[in-house]
Amino acid sequence: MDGSVELIRSFAKLNIGLHFTGRRVSDGYHLLESLFLEIDVHDTLKVKLKRSGEFNLSCSDPSVPTDASNTVLRALERLGPSLPQELGADIHLVKRIPHGAGLGGGSSNAAAVLRLFSAYSSLSEKQLLNIAASVGADVPFFMKGGLQYVTGIGDILRPLDYHFSHSFLLVFPEFTVNTAEAYRSLNLPLHEKLFPAKFAGCLTRPLCWELFENEFEDVINPAHPQVKEIRTALDSAGAVYSSLSGSGSTVYGAFENEAAAAAAADRLKGRWPTIVSRAAQR
């Protein structure tokens, strides 16, 4: 164990559609429906194991906090009681998922260390998922990744057997979105009426892209008209679908193939930073 190094990829995700069904009466949490798709844009965690009983974190991006507020250390703090007392590690996080872009980078990082270090514990899968959920709402999704149908408050996950052959062009505007403020702006009443599944049944060939709207755009667009501008640019560049991912700020376009996505990236060059991606393969 001591001195061995593990390299772990930590993938980002996109929301394919986001629909709100109400707010939970007990605590006011928003009830939603979405498809989460893990994509191949990824961070890398370089983990050097040691017999110190301590976990230390560094990061290639100086804007990312490396103290106890980081999801990596929060996950390890919660997992700690089930680990051998002498187990420790130096962890260096190489960031490629833009910080604060709404792509789930922090949640993915937390899930990556939970998967790695759970091998040193005797926790059941259910116990591990409970720890994941206590770190962040998206962390349970990243424990398995892939494509999942998400309901409840984001805590009910159902893996879907469908392969997205599309390429995605991610576009990063010059602003970030405060997720908590975006949720408050939705102004949904407290009710828990269940609606018929809207997105899971759309996975046909050809896809019913027109049904995958993101209802966050209703509250994000007035404050950030750049979202609509980017979507228009993506559509003009040949995207079969464009959308805000989650509450943003990332906007993406789906293209039939990688060549089409790369050509669109060339058209948008100089206006916004972009990344071409595909569905992740673990």
Q: What is the CA radius of gyration of the chain?
A: 19
Rounded Cα–Cα distance for residues 11 and 138 (Å): 12
Query: Of 2, 13, 67, 198, which is the active-site residue?
Result: 13
13 is catalytic: yes
Selection from 104, 105, 110 nearest residue 129 by Cα: 110
Could you tell me the CA-to-CA distances from 103 to 57, 168, 181, 205, 245 in Å, in that order?
21, 13, 17, 26, 7
Ramachandran angles phi, psi of 224, nearest 5°: -135, 80
Selection from 183, 234, 187 nearest residue 209 by Cα: 234
Query: Of 138, 155, 193, 269, which is the active-site residue?
Result: 138
Decide: helix, strand or coil at residue 118: helix
| Type of residue found at 9 | R
H or E, element range at 5:
strand 5-23
Query: Any bridge partners for residue 74, and if so which?
Result: none
Rounded Cα–Cα distance for residues 36 and 16 (Å): 6
- In three-state form (DSSP H/G/I as H, E/B as E, the rest C), the secondary structure along 144-194 is HCCEEEEECCCCEEEECCCCCCCEEEEECCCCCCCHHHHHHHHCCCEECCC
Decide: helix, strand or coil at residue 28: coil
For the chain, how many residues are written?
Answer: 282
Q: b/e for 41-60, b at 16 or more Cβ within 10 A? A: bbbebbbebbeeeebebebe
27 is catalytic: no
Would you name the residues annotated as active-site residues? Answer: 13, 138
